[in-house]
Amino acid sequence: MSGSTPEASTQSVIVEVRDGVAWLGFNRPQSRNAMTWEMYDALERHCEALEQNDAVHALVLHGVGGEAFVAGTDIGQFGDFTQPEDALGYERRIDRIVGRLEAFTKPSIALLEGACVGGGAALALVCDFRYATPSLKFGVPIAKTLGNTLSITNVSRLIDMVGIARTKEALMLARLFDAETAKSTGLVNAVVPSEQIYAEVATLAASLGRFAPLTLKASKALIMRTQQVRRPEAALSDDWIETCYMSDDFAAAVDKFVNKTPFNWTGR
């Protein structure tokens, strides 16, 4: 993007500001932009900085490489989880960072190409608008990959967006929604050809700079307050977070990912 101010391209989260729009890219294309702890922390820091930057009126999140928005959290990081506090701390961390993006006071747009799963799905859900290419695969297929669970806060977000029936499809059937299904459920605002999506999102982001900023902030804040009133306390999922993350199944699933070892689900 000419006229932008990019960070070093070697960083796993890069930001460019152009014409009042901050383009935040998840930059691990070799891992389909799977999130490391450092990437989550960087996202949180950038939200703080961009919110204070008066030259920025909108934020666009996107994945680098064209094959994925974010393919979840990097599974290799789960190998050190041995105590319930590890699992609870992780889910609290995700809740905090996803919540920080949700509370970002300026309009946010998720530009979705390819895989948008797990932690990536949680990030996309809290953006104000979602534009996708036909390659979108959206979901949380942990019932067939890791055997862990979402926090109750992120389950609530998914229910708010797609309803109970579709949430059960996503979580219990490990179903990945394609672009047309996502559009029909209201999960994405539009499906745009890949060669046009950056221009389309740029046009939308530019238009937001022509609207009353206080009205945009108020609308976003009041919608979020309404959602928060309906959400249960975070601790109401702690028992299942501990059960799933401390299970033999979860440990075996992580080991399969890291070391390519076979396993069968045991329910223990």
Contact predicate 7/14, CB 8 Å:
yes
- Joined together, the tokens standing for residue 158 give 């998914």
Q: Which amino acid is present at 25? A: G
Give pLDDT, residue 220: 98
59 - beta bridge partners?
22, 108
Tell me what pLDDT residue 3 has: 32
Question: Helices 84-102 & 152-172, crossing angle to 10 degrees?
Answer: 100
Phi first, then psi: give them for residue 96, nearest 5 degrees.
-65, -45
Q: What is the pLDDT of residue 1?
A: 34
CATH architecture of structural domain 13-259:
Alpha-Beta Complex (3.90)
Cα–Cα distance list, 40 to 2, 215, 220, 226 (Å): 27, 29, 23, 26
| Per-domain residue ranges of the chain | 13-259
Instruction: Answer whether 263's CB lies under 8 Å from 253's CB.
Output: yes
Tokens of 84: 């319930």
Could you give the CA distance from residue 230 to residue 252 in angstroms, rounded to a whole number?
A: 36
pLDDT of the residue at 84: 96
Q: Is 129 helix (H, G, I), strand (E, B) or coil?
A: strand
Instruction: Please identify every stretch of the chain with a pLDDT value under 50, giving residue numbers as ranges.
Output: 1-9
Q: What per-residue confidence (pLDDT) applies to 5?
A: 36
pLDDT of residue 69: 98
* CB contact at 8 A, 5 and 16: yes
Beta pairing partners, 110: 61, 130
pLDDT for 18 equals 96
Please tell me the predicted confidence (pLDDT) of residue 2.
Answer: 29
For residue 127, give the 3-state DSSP assignment: coil
Tell which residue, 12, 122, 117, 17, has the closest CA to residue 75: 117
Provide the whole-model pTM. 0.94
Q: How far is CA 143 from CA 56, 89, 150, 171, 221, in A?
A: 39, 21, 11, 7, 33
81: nearest Cα among 90, 73, 69: 90
Residue 169 gets which letter from DSSP? H
